[in-house]
Amino acid sequence: MTRKFCCYFLTRSSSPGRLTVLLAMSGFDKLDADFYQSSFSVDDQNQGGGGYSNTDVQYSNPYGQYDYSQPMGYSAAPGIMQPQQPYTGQIFQPTPAFTPASTQSMYSSSFEDEPPLLEELGINFDHIWQKTLTVLHPLKAADGSIMNETDLAGPMVFCLAFGATLLFTGKIQFGYVYGISAIGCLGMYCLLNLMSMTGVSFGCVASVLGYCLLPMIILSSFGVLFSLQGMLGIILTAAIIGWCSFSASKIIISALAMDGQQLLVAYPCALLYGVFALISVF
Amino acid sequence: MEYPVQSGFRQRKIQPEVRMRGAPVDPGDPRLLFDDTSAGGIGHRQALLSDPVSNLAMVYGSSLASHGREMMDQNLDRFIPISKLKYYFAVDTVYVGKKLGLLVFPYMHDNWEVSYQQDTPVAPRFDINAPDLYIPVMGFITYILVAGLALGTQNRFSPEILGIQASSALVWLIIEVLAVLLSLYLVTVNTDLTTIDLVAFSGYKYVGMIVGVIAGLLFGRMGYHLSLLWCCVSIFVFTIRTLRLKILSEAAAEGRLVRGAKNQLRMYLTMAIAAAQPVFMYWLTFHLVR
């Protein structure tokens, strides 16, 4: 049972780094997050495994076939799989570590191995915070590589927060916020693909534009306190639009290495954020 | 299903989708619970083969997606020539600044010729006379937003108005471009003006319209009328000077008097196109300023 369990881990992983970690089976939370996908799949089988303890007898034969076919499969694949060959002999070493109780071993060890929920969902608060700081400091030079991961969790949160602050002023316009952001992202995607040498992916554009929506939330929360249609409101709106578009263009320019085009990129961003400002002011 | 090599953070986001699709909740079937979701090559496929239905569905789905994307790329390239469009967007800030100045004050500029480099026109970045699409597109969008702003100050704003303004301006643009194309065809002019060039030249009037509406917002009707008058005259001169080189024959473009019905007709055509610009400018903005 536990032998099958370890062979199962062997089939899961695809890099020697993970296997060494498997053998160690401790302190894995410090290591590469790629590891977690293996243990997550263990969870997955347990979700359907209400009758797990009853049916593990049935597992033996088909799983045994599965298990023995793996090394052949891996040896046929070049490169990646070859370093795993020497590990096949050692894979059964950790089996003694997996025996609290035979029927419950899978369940309890997988529960301990379970990674935190946020990491499974791919929400990395540290990166989100870094990107937020980049937006909030428009005069600081941006690092072009931070936008390589297309993370839409932060932008979603910001859109919801924007809609919520609009709600406080009595305007129920979530639909317009989402619609305009979708159209705006599509427009920016087309424009940036036409203007830059290298292309961009839609997720990258959506992520950058979503993060730079953060100052707009500040504007709409001011709109809760006082009406933005006066002179002070107009000045504040103009300043916030400038802030949003400046930081968005700064990040895009550094990510795509476009020279002499920062103002040209900042202008459509300013138009997009101007539409959001139109919604929050009027 | 292919797993592109990305950072581990992103890769984990891809994995859950495969797991959810490939592992139905069925405690009675042990093979499904051990679905292999690692990035291994042959082992991965062997695991999928253990459930032929999900494997078939996944392979079909991925092939459909890639096939759809190929088809879309091909067809998009047929209708909208992406590489040609990229030429019109190869601009930089200096060019845009100079061109905007030229649109508002074209009287001091001498040389209106588009420079070529071995038969291909030079990119707009390097030649101020070359047409571009950045200014027309941005001008169009800015016009819609400024119209929304103007209607908002008169308390006539609702988000649907933006859509209405956008579609009506777009329709007028299409009508104008089609009319110019038709008249160029009827007059049988041999010119290298492409449709995209005509869209660009028709889009330059949005700059004047925006200036007029903003002046109207700041200074009232008098400001609107004065600035619109100035911009109409400027765009008239700009259009004539630009199109003259493209439509008229060489000799007439240099200013020498060339008799002949053909050249006269072409001259009238150029003047008609140039005169249509102020008409559109007034038509599309007068209802915005009260």
Q: What is the pLDDT of residue B259?
A: 66
Q: What is the pLDDT of residue B209?
A: 94
Determine, for residues A74 and B40 on separate chains, whether the beta-carbon distance falls below 8 Å: yes
Query: How far does chain A reach from its first CA to its final CA, in angstroms?
Result: 66
pLDDT digits (tens, 9 = 90+) for A72-104: 444 444 444 444 555 555 555 555 554 554 444
Greater pLDDT, B246 or B78: B246
Q: Confidence class of residue A58 from pLDDT cuts 50, 70 and 90?
A: very low
Res A12 pLDDT > 60: no
Determine, for residues B34 and A8 on separate chains, whether the beta-carbon distance falls below 8 Å: yes
Greater pLDDT, A138 or A246: A246
| Residues in Cβ contact with A71 at an 8 Å cutoff, skipping those fewer than 6 apart | A85, A88
DSSP of chain B, one letter per residue?
-------HHHHHHHHHHHHHHH--S-TT-HHHHT---SS-SHHHHHHHHTSHHHHHHHHHHHHHHHHHHHHHHHHHHHHS-HHHHHHHT---HHHHHHHHHHHH--SS----PPPEETTEEPPTTT-TTS--SHHHHHHHHHHHHHHHHHHHHTT---HHHHHHHHHHHHHHHHHHHHHHHHHHHHHT------HHHHHHHHHTHHHHHHHHHHHHHHHHHHHHHHHHHHHHHHHHHHHHHHHHHHHS-HHHHTT----SHHHHHHHHHHHHHHHHHHHHHHHHHGGG--
Q: What is the pLDDT of residue B98?
A: 93
Instruction: Name the residue among B58, B131, B47 with its Cα closest to residue B89.
Output: B131
Q: What is the pLDDT of residue A92?
A: 57
Q: What is the pLDDT of residue A3?
A: 53
Q: How close is the nearest chain A Cα to the Cα of B161, in Å?
A: 12
Q: Confidence class of residue B277 from pLDDT cuts 50, 70 and 90?
A: very high
pLDDT digits (tens, 9 = 90+) for A171-199: 777 888 888 889 999 999 999 998 888 88
pLDDT digits (tens, 9 = 90+) for B94-148: 999 999 999 999 998 888 888 888 878 888 888 888 999 999 999 999 998 889 8
| Mean predicted confidence (pLDDT) in A129-145 | 74
Amino acid present at A227: S
Lowest average pLDDT, out of A57-71, A229-243, B166-180, B204-218, goes to A57-71
- Chain B residues close to A150, C-beta within 8 Å: 10
Lowest average pLDDT, out of A45-54, B46-55, B198-207, goes to A45-54
Calpha distance A117→A127 (Å, rounded): 16
CA distances from A35 to A123, B20, B46, B258 (A): 16, 19, 22, 81
Q: What is the pLDDT of residue A91?
A: 57
Q: What is the pLDDT of residue A27?
A: 46
Determine, for residues A278 and B148 on separate chains, whether the beta-carbon distance falls below 8 Å: yes
**Between A13, A50, A119, which is nearest B27 by CB?**
A50
Q: Confidence class of residue A109 from pLDDT cuts 50, 70 and 90?
A: low
Query: How far does chain B reach from its first CA to its final CA, in angstroms?
Result: 60
B interface test, pick of A8, A37, A253 with most B CB neighbours within 10 Å: A37
Calpha distance A37→B139 (Å, rounded): 49
Calpha distance A268→A187 (Å, rounded): 9
Q: What is the pLDDT of residue B213?
A: 94
Confirm if B103 and B201 have CB atoms less than 8 A apart: no
Q: What is the pLDDT of residue B20?
A: 46
A interface test, pick of B38, B80, B94, B135 with most A CB neighbours within 10 Å: B38
Determine, for residues B40 and A11 on separate chains, whether the beta-carbon distance falls below 8 Å: yes
If contacts are CB pairs under 8 Å, which of residues 94-123 in chain A contact chain B?
119-120, 122
For tokens 């239905």, what's the residue?
A: B53
Determine, for residues B34 and A195 on separate chains, whether the beta-carbon distance falls below 8 Å: no
pLDDT digits (tens, 9 = 90+) for B251-267: 556 666 666 777 788 88
**Between B27, B47, B162, which is nearest A48 by CB?**
B27
Q: How close is the nearest chain B Cα to the Cα of A262, in Å?
A: 8
Counting Cβ atoms within 10 Å, is residue A241 exposed (0-12), middle (13-18) or buried (19+)?
Answer: buried
Query: Would the ipTM clear 0.95, i.e. be above it?
Result: no
Res B31 pLDDT > 70: no
Calpha distance A192→A210 (Å, rounded): 16
Q: What is the pLDDT of residue A56?
A: 44
Q: What is the DSSP pairing of strand B120-121 with strand B116-117?
A: antiparallel
Counting Cβ atoms within 10 Å, is residue B92 exposed (0-12), middle (13-18) or buried (19+)?
Answer: buried
- Chain A residues close to B149, C-beta within 8 Å: 278
Greater pLDDT, B191 or A7: B191
Q: What are phi and psi of B35, to 5 degrees?
A: -60, 130
